Amino acid sequence: MPRIKISGPALVDSGKDSEDGTIALVTDSEVLKSLNGLRYDDEMFSDYLADDEAFSEIADIVSGGILLFEYDQASGSLVGSIGYDLTRDLSEEEIEMLVEYTIDQLSDGIGSNFSQERVLNGEVAPFINYEELVAS
């Protein structure tokens, strides 16, 4: 079964505002390392594909989609990814569609649900910089 992974660099919100009111990002390598293997599987990204007419044509092709964070030792950074299972390889247009859908979920869906839950629990909240997503 083919798979596609959509990934990008992850940033970590400390849950506290900085002095200028912006997000205070965590850069401590020990904190970043502690997030290695963190998964959010309360919701699957593919669960909502059919709900949006713009993406419904790939809903029968794509399944899965768990948010995962991994620490990259070589770069000393955190990487976030969403891996999808496919019934067949996607066309370039379908890949672009899936990336767009994933961005929507990261910014105002599953990704924000995950971040909000962690902050409410007093935990740091990693999130993927969706402006730098890559499909592989």
pLDDT tens per residue, range 72-114: 999 999 999 999 999 999 999 999 999 999 999 998 888 888 9
Instruction: Report the pLDDT averaged over residues 29-54.
Output: 94
In the numeric block, which tokens belong to residue 78?
């955190």
The whole-number pLDDT of residue 111 equals 86
Pairing of strands 125-128, 23-25: unpaired
pTM recorded for the entire structure: 0.92
Q: Does the structure show a pLDDT above 90 at 61?
A: yes
The residue extents of the domains of the chain are 3-135
Q: Does the structure show a pLDDT above 90 at 17?
A: no
The whole-number pLDDT of residue 112 equals 83
Contact 64, 85 (CB under 8 A): yes
**How far is CA 91 from its chain centroid?**
22
The whole-number pLDDT of residue 19 equals 82
Q: Does the structure show a pLDDT above 90 at 119?
A: no
